[in-house]
Structures are given as structure tokens and as C-alpha cells.
Amino acid sequence: MLTEPEAVLSSYLNHLAVERGLSANTVASYRRDLRRYLDHLKARGLRTLAEVREDDVAAFLTALREGDADHPALVASSAARAFSAVRGLHRFALREGLTRHDPAHAIRPPRQLRRLPKAISVEEVERLIAACGPDGSPLTLRNRALLELLYGTGARISEAVGLAVDDVTTGAPTDPARDQVRLRGKGGRTRIVPLGRYARQALDAYLVRARPQLAAQGRGTSALFLNARGGRLTRQGAWEVLQAAAERAGLSGVSPHMLRHSFATHLLDGGADVRVVQELLGHASVATTQVYTLVTVDRLREVYAAAHPRARG
């Protein structure tokens, strides 16, 4: 059974490039990580992949995290990427009948620190929306309606630009309970989200005073948000609207998803139940939403430190 590491590596890289169609840069990254792995096996006196055992693979994972004379220690995300290449190599060897076992199967990659969602403050949201401009031009009214809707509903940017006019329902000014929007999320799931007063007013102004003018430039579409030519506003177009407003407001690093994060964080800071926020965001699992509760812990600490008589030393 031919299991010389170099021969298997060559076959595996060819498989990645030809059969799986990975890019040249990705294949080069696999090659670099696996060359290091083969050097590790050679240093342990292993001549074939058939000889590799679970503790050999585990030792390589440890070496990735701790580093050595020739390599600096890797952070969890980089070590996980290199380890993924190793697992792929052993799975390939087993599937091709080159080995009879997969020594990497039971080993878990290093746990990565979960990145907490970034949010901007309520004051920064207000600055962002105000930066759309005070004039009542059609594009200004559209931009304000778009940003109010993104922040006011927690919609993904794809959900916002995918809206049709009929997806927005508003009642009489005296009946705000009927103000809502129908969002189509991931996996084709549809959810109904209430419209707050600011979002409803911005949408009303846009629909009455701006959208008809924009629509007159096109061939007719049911899309809610239109571009200057009367067609549906694209994701890229919506992104540019946000970036322009952020620049005028003096905010950096603001993305459409950051408004979604801010929506969730501000709701939880205001006392909303995490399962309500889950429904509003359209998350299939509450576990996805619970990451936002970690964000609000910092706020709880601030309040505790400022208010509790025994918090200050």
C-alpha cells in the first residue's frame, strides 16, 4: 500500500485543484500547511501515513499553538485552518483506500474565540440617519427610509432591497399597531416585523414624495427601494448609501450588518426578551441570538459599577 506522505500529498493537492476546483491561492495555502505537517511526521520518525496515530496528530496541533524555533505560535483561527488541511489529507487517504484508519477523526480543532457583534450607540445611529441630509430630494428621502428601516427592523440588507411595496403595511396614524413589514429571510423563511414610528414616517415620506418620481424614470417595478434610474436598488447601491452617510456622520467601519447588530443590542439593553429578539431577527435557533446577550453584559457591568454602593473600592 503506497502511503508515502509526499505521494499522498501530491495526489491530494491535485484532487483539490482539479476535482474540487479550489483556487491556486487556496491550494498553495493547503500545500504550505501540509508541508509543515509532513516535516512534523518525519521528525517523529514516521515514514508512511499508515503509521500515523492519533497522538501524532495531536502533537502537531499542540506545536501549531505553541510554536517552535522555526515557526511562531499560531492563533486559534490560523491553527484551525492548518488543522483542517491535515484532517482533509487523512480523510482523502482513507477514502482512496491508501490507509485503513483516520487518526485525525477524533481530534477537535482549537476553539476559536467567538467574535462579538459590533454595535454603534443610539446617538451614533441618530447621527448616521441625520447625515442623509435635510433636503427633501427623492434620493435623500429614499436613503433616510432605507436606513430607518434597516435599524428599525433589524433587516438584513438583502431583505431590505428585496422588499416590494406590498410588503409594507401601515394603518391609520391612530392605529400604529398595524404598521409592519414582511421580510423574507434565509431559507425562504418569512417573518412579520413591526414598524416603529420613525421608520413608518420615513417610509411614508418616501412613498408619497419620492418613489413616484424615481419610478417614472424606469419601466415599472414593484420594488420598494428604487435607484435613480427607476430600477430596484441593489445591495451594492444600498451599501454605498450607508457608507456615504457614515462618512458624513464621521463614523468609520459601519456596515449594514452593524445596524442589525445595533437593533438587537439596543432591544436587549431596553429589556426585550431574547426569544422576542430571535423572532424579530429571523434566527432559526435562539443560540444564534444569545451571542448578543454577551454584548449587553458589558453594559450591565457599567451600570453596576456606577450604581452599586459596594462596587466601588
Decide if 31 is catalytic: no
Q: Which residues contact 135 (CB under 8 A, 6 or more apart)?
A: none
Residue of 185, 187, 138 whose CA lies nearest to 163: 185
Decide if 118 is catalytic: no
Q: Which of 30, 37, 206, 292 is catalytic?
A: 292
Q: Which of 156, 184, 211, 261 is catalytic?
A: 156
Q: Which residues contact 246 (CB under 8 A, 6 or more apart)?
A: 128, 131, 252, 254
| Residue bearing cell 462596587 | 311
Q: Which residues contact 74 (CB under 8 A, 6 or more apart)?
A: 64, 65, 67, 82
| Residue bearing cell 429614499 | 142
Residue of 11, 17, 41, 43 whose CA lies nearest to 29: 17
Q: Which of 142, 144, 261, 283 is catalytic?
A: 283
Q: Which of 211, 260, 261, 266 is catalytic?
A: 260
Q: Which of 35, 71, 197, 257 is catalytic?
A: 257
Distances (CA, A) of 46 to 3, 39, 82, 155, 229: 11, 10, 20, 54, 66
Q: Which of 105, 186, 209, 299 is catalytic?
A: 186
**Rounded Cα–Cα distance for residues 207 and 168 (Å):** 11
**Rounded Cα–Cα distance for residues 38 and 46 (Å):** 9
**Rounded Cα–Cα distance for residues 305 and 105 (Å):** 47
Decide if 105 is catalytic: no
User: How crowded is residue 217: how many other Cβ atoms within 10 Å of its Cβ?
Assistant: 13
**Rounded Cα–Cα distance for residues 65 and 50 (Å):** 25
Helix 122-130 × helix 256-269 angle, to 10°: 140
Amino acid at 269: D
Decide if 266 is catalytic: no
**Catalytic residue positions?**
156, 186, 257, 260, 283, 292
